[in-house]
């Protein structure tokens, strides 16, 4: 058994408040060194932390490691704000990468539904590895995270409409997932593997909307609460 977070138990994902700064300039993610690595569509990935610190998109298991204790790569010099974002959260991160996802249509995206292999070599009794997303640049209101408990059963599906600045945590080894991004420009997002522990739990609880906090406490949701607070820290000048 691995340690799992109660906050993830019901749905396998949680949508947090929007990132509220400090500002991250688009040149940070646009200037990174990307590698040709296909996962969940027509994608390239820029490793910020890898198993060894090399520019390497492979699973940590290729180096005999669980997806934890990531080592910063040379890319981190290009994107200090993204590195600070991860460091400020403060947990045990593994893979830290920026995804560059080229546009697709819905049918193509659905064919890319997949599970991640986050917990290979992760010892029993330690924290289950989940992933966080920070949306950097997408087609606000049109790019959609598609999640399914059962790949073949659309009735198990949740769709989360994305916008820049959005933060999510997803158990991507439990939920089949893909992003349908209509474009026309590529979508960028920061994806981080995290060991479930008290640090990540505390971050998630601090970043929950008032509505979700009340729901977790068994109270009535706030009528006016919104998941979207602001996305200005990622806006272009
Ligand atoms: Fe994935």
Q: How many whole angstroms from 58 Cα to the centroid of ligand 1?
A: 13
The answer to whether 137 touches 13, Cβ cutoff 8 Å, is no
Residue at 110 is within a domain: yes
Calculate how far, in angstroms, residue 14's C-alpha sits from the geometric centre of ligand 1: 16
Give me ligand 1 centre to Cα 119, in Å.
13
CA–CA distance, 206 with 135 (Å, rounded to integer)? 18
Expressed in angstroms and rounded, the spacing between residue 114 Cα and the centre of ligand 1 is 6
pLDDT at 236: 53
Domain that holds residue 94: 6-234
Confidence (pLDDT) at 218: 60
CA of 177 to the centre of ligand 1 (A): 6
Q: Which residues of 172-198 are buried (b: 16+ CB within 10 A; e: fewer)?
A: bbbbbbbbbbeeeebbbbbbbbbbbbe
For residue 193, the CA-to-ligand 1 centroid distance in Å is 11
Q: Give every CB contact of residue 155 below 8 A, 6+ residues apart in sequence.
A: none
Residue 209 lies inside a defined structural domain of this protein? yes
- Give the rounded percent of residues in the chain with a pLDDT score beyond 70: 89
Tell me how many degrees the CA angle 48-51-53 measures, rounded to the nearest 5: 55
Residue 1 belongs to some domain of the structure: no
Q: How far is the CA of 25 from the centre of ligand 1 (A)?
A: 25
CATH no. for residue 79? 2.60.120.330
Ligand 1 centroid to residue 131 C-alpha, Å: 9
pLDDT average, residue stretch 14-33: 96
Least confident range from 103-112, 131-140, 177-186, 211-220: namely 211-220
Task: Provide the mean pLDDT of the chain.
Answer: 91
- Does residue 60 lie within any of the structural domains? yes
Model confidence pLDDT, tens digit, residues 146-172: 999 999 999 999 999 999 999 999 999
- pLDDT band of residue 223 (cuts 50, 70, 90) is very low
Distance, CA 74 to ligand 1 centroid (Å)? 24
Residue 81 counted as domain residue:
yes
In a domain, 128, yes or no: yes
Closest to 34 in 3D by CA, of 1, 80, 79: 79
Q: Which of 210, 205, 208 is nearest to 223 (CA)?
A: 210
Please confirm whether the linkage preceding 22 is cis (ω < 30° from 0). Answer: yes
Region 212-235 average pLDDT: 52
Residue 39: pLDDT band with limits 50, 70, 90: confident
Please indicate, yes or no, if residue 117 is contained in any of the structural domains: yes
What is the pTM (predicted TM-score) of this model? Answer: 0.91
In a domain, 91, yes or no: yes
Q: Is the pLDDT of residue 87 over 60?
A: yes
Distance (Å) from CA 206 to ligand 1 centroid: 25
The rounded Å distance from CA 220 to ligand 1 centre is 33
Q: How far is the CA of 22 from the centre of ligand 1 (A)?
A: 27
Q: What's the pLDDT at 215?
A: 63
CA–centroid distance, residue 45 to ligand 1 (Å): 12
Domain count, the chain: 1
Backbone φ and ψ for 48, nearest 5 degrees, come out as -100, -35
């Amino acid at each position: 058994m691995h340690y799992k977070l109660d906050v993830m138990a019901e749905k396998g994902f949680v949508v947090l408040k929007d990132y509220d700064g400090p500002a991250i300039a688009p040149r940070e993610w646009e200037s990174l060194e990307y590698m040709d690595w296909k996962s969940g569509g027509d994608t390239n990935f820029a490793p910020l932390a890898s198993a060894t610190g090399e520019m390497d998109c492979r699973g940590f298991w290729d180096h005999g490691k669980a997806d934890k204790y990531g080592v910063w790569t040379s890319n981190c010099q290009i994107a200090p704000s993204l590195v600070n974002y991860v460091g400020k959260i403060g947990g045990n991160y593994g893979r830290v990468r920026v995804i560059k996802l080229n546009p697709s249509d819905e049918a193509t995206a659905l064919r890319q539904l997949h599970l991640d292999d986050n917990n290979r070599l992760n010892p029993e009794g330690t924290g289950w590895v989940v992933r966080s997303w920070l949306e950097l640049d997408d087609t606000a209101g049109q790019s959609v995270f598609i999640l399914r408990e059962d790949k073949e059963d659309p009735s198990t599906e949740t769709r989360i409409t994305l916008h820049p600045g959005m933060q999510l945590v997803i158990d991507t080894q439990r939920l089949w997932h893909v992003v349908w991004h209509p474009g026309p420009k590529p979508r960028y997002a920061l994806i981080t593997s995290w060991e479930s522990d008290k640090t990540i739990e505390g971050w998630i609880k601090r970043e929950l909307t008032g509505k979700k906090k009340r729901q977790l406490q068994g109270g009535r949701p706030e009528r006016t609460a919104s998941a979207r607070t602001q996305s200005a820290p990622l806006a272009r000048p």
